[in-house]
Structure 1
Amino acid sequence: MTGHHDPVALPGLAAELLAEARRQDSRRAARTVASRSSQRATVIALAEGADLGKHDAPPAATLQVLSGKARLETADQAWELGSGDLLPIPPERHGLHAVTDTVVLLTVALR
């Protein structure tokens, strides 16, 4: 994790994490790039076909696709997201599937 005022070069980090994800059995890799008392930002790389299984949503969060294509699914809805798309994560159980090699920025409100 970087210091409070250090910029994060997202393209380089995205490439690094995607290379790491391709080597992992889980097909994913992540790094928290900012964390404060009220929010956390994490870059998550998913190799093509990887899944983040269904899990509970935090009180407030957004998902921005930095590269690739992913599908966010709840019990009732699904969103196809591509590079540059930003989606407020619905406050319900959801999962994420990498349609292609994908890197996302997850920002979570902690309180």
Structure 2
Amino acid sequence: MTNLQQAALAHMAYAQAEKNGRSSEMLVHDGPLRQSLLALVKGTELGEHNAPPAASLLVLEGSVRVTTPSGEEDLARGELAVLTHERHAVLALEDCVFLLTTVTSIPKP
């Protein structure tokens, strides 16, 4: 079992110590399901990238801006966004930690 609060604090400390301003850990890897904890220092960006077949981002601490071709959405602690079907980028508006849940493939019937 993972204590998300403890892991979030640890990864924020790691991110603050890293030159690239980020830290991450895959917490769950079960078939196509992935859950990763990511910490970003204010101003750090995960550049634009493709979304997997299904994805969501839950902000645990701080705030982020998610940018897609459809626009921008700012998310704060406790807010959840669906990232499916669009390329997107994530910018840390302040030091932040978020839980990224993805499904890497969808089985065909």
Deviation at 1:25, TM superposition (A): 1.2
How do residues 1-111 of structure 1 correspond to structure 2 at under 5 angstroms?
7-111=1-105
- Where in structure 1 do 4 or more consecutive aligned residues deviate above 6 Å? none
CA distance in 2, matches of 1:8, 1:26: 25
Runs of 5+ consecutive residues of structure 1 not aligned to the other structure: 1-6
> Which whole-Å deviations, capped at 9, do the CAs of 1:61-93 have from their partners, x for residues lacking one?
000000101000012311110000011114111
Number of equivalenced pairs = 105
Q: Per the alignment, in what secondary structure is the counterpart of residue 24 of structure 2?
A: strand
Q: Per the alignment, in what secondary structure is the counterpart of residue 52 of structure 2?
A: coil
TM-score by length of 2: 0.93
TM-score by length of 1: 0.91
**1:12 alignment partner AA:** Q
Q: CA RMSD in A?
A: 0.8
**1:65 alignment partner AA:** V
CA distance in 1, matches of 2:104, 2:47: 21
CA distance in 1, matches of 2:85, 2:57: 13
